[in-house]
Amino acid sequence: MKKLLSLFSGCGGMDIGFEGDFLVEKSFINTRTSKNFIEKEIDGKYLLKKTIFNTIFANDIEPSAKISWVNYFKKRGKDESIYFLESIVDLVKKHHNGNFIFPNKIDIITGGFPCQDFSVAGKRKGFNSSKNHLGKQTIDTPSVETRGMLYTWMKEVIEITKPNVFIAENVKGLVNFGQVRDIIQKDFSRIGKDGYYVFEPKVLLSGNYGVPQSRQRVFFIGLKKSALKKGVLEELEKKNPSEDLSPYPEITHKINDKILFVKNEEDLKRHTNLHEAFKNLLEPDKTKDLSQKYYYKAKFLGNHVQGQKEISLSKLGPTIRAEHHGNIEFRRLSSENGGKINKELDKGLKERRLTIRECARIQTFPDDFDFVIPAKEVKNKFILSQGAGYKLVGNAVPPLLAYHLANKIQRNWKKYFKEIS
């Protein structure tokens, strides 16, 4: 097994995907291109195979993130002590002071450094964020410890642990943010004595990988030069390197039958949709699943207000965003408010917004991941609330997208790296 160190882990979408061994809807997998993903079929879903990666360290500053991560991964034999509820800045400082030691012999680091300052949904302050590394509005003058510079602390952890591979994830908006993309790529390439070969950052559209969502994210992937096999670096540095060495997964689904001009185009499957994603989900008043039972009940405010649209069951889902939990899109609108899902309205189903579970399905989280957790001692109290659940889902990397990445890197591992005797 390859040891994985997870940074800015959130509730663990990337970690779930990189480890595998979770259930997805059958329609999410293209069996013509990805039959080797499938371990077996269980209750009409596919159980994805385990990968070679094992998460041995995770961190975040949000208590709700740790609660949800630990609740899921303890079922898979992980101890909550490997999840550190501390800022990456504080962890690095402690390491240098000898009060904390990062794990040894790390093979791969993954991390989605905070994206709010690069997102089109945020204020787009980028490197000039006025929030500190704990996300608090307390800094007048930007510094290396402000939120927009946290990628440099991820770089520091890579410097300390020297993994063979690192993967850094962020919002699509970062690639169009002045020279930010080039600066980050160059900074990552200079890590360590011999440096890292950093591939050209690539924007991946989740819908191209079976995720029923229009979400786009940019990925930076680096390989430690000193660990590469002879000839690999020379090939990568060519003007047109071999596609076989790319760490980015081949697409498996096409959006709206769009011609893509890829070598496996005839094998591509049409994108999944929300009708398939919501298969067998009961209505909130009929279910025992708390993540499906609870949803925001804000009323329809008119089409001119954000978050007032009705989803289309025949299309990809909207991008689930953390900041939209209060006005998440409608699962269905009433006919008076322009609702078009007549089959459901004719059955007497009422107007409502998307539930947390429906959002999680759009993100491809397995149904055994709990986003609402009640307190055992006090009735109607929660250790993980409805509001926190929506936010956690919105901040996550879709596990299925991460699984595609993990599989491509797993397949290429022996192509990239020297065998260690």
**Active-site residue set:** 115
d(CA 134, CA 91) in angstroms, rounded, equals 12
CB-CB contact of 269 with 252 (8 Å) = yes
H/E stretch holding 159: helix 151-161
d(CA 19, CA 34) in angstroms, rounded, equals 17
Among 223, 277, 235, 269, residue whose Cα is nearest residue 108: 223
d(CA 379, CA 73) in angstroms, rounded, equals 25
Angle between helices 180-189 and 151-161 (to 10 degrees): 10
Place of tokens 């207000």: 305
Amino acid occupying residue 333? L
Cβ-based neighbour number of residue 275 at 10 Å: 13
CA distances (Å), origin 54, targets 16, 116, 197, 220, 395 = 10, 28, 24, 21, 22
CA distances (Å), origin 163, targets 92, 139, 148, 284, 326 = 16, 33, 24, 45, 39
CB-CB contact of 131 with 147 (8 Å) = yes
d(CA 414, CA 260) in angstroms, rounded, equals 29
